[in-house]
Structure 1
Amino acid sequence: MKVLYFAWLRERLNRASDEVAPPAEVQTLADLVSWLRSRDEALDYAMADPSIFKLSRDARIVPWDTPLDGAQTVAILPPMTGG
């Protein structure tokens, strides 16, 4: 599964994506984010307030409790400002 990072989150992590293979107990997008944060100190720090982020599963914005169900791509979207 590919995890995409956008905007300032991508800049803080110094990467645009990761390829991951989460364990079977990772069932929802919330589980995935928790698992990713537990493995990556920079991501954990950048997502200190997870409530501000939106998540996308296969190019659709979805609630955090959405099942992974074979997702190919998950995007973590920080709040963005216009300009």
Structure 2
Amino acid sequence: MAALIVLILILLTPAFCVYALKASKKAELAKWKRKHAKSVVLHEERIKAYWDAEPARQAAREKADAEHKAYMKQRLDERNAEMKRKRDQS
């Protein structure tokens, strides 16, 4: 009778170990998800904020480009006027 109990225990031990290992992995995964849930949400919020701010960045980029273009046109006009003045003097 004792041999039968020992045999049953020997046969059931691997199955129990597999079950315990799977349960442990599930518990570990759930613990990791709880631990990192806040950081995942913060990451998603940062991504959303980045894309929500894209129109403002685009407008600022276009404004800077327009200002640069106006500045370069002004410098070109100044140089042209200077060259014209030098030509007229000589």
> TM-score, normalised on structure 2?
0.16
Bigger CA radius of gyration? 2
* TM-score when normalising by structure 1: 0.18
Q: Tell which has more relative contact order, 1 or 2 (C-alpha 8 A, sep 6+).
A: 1
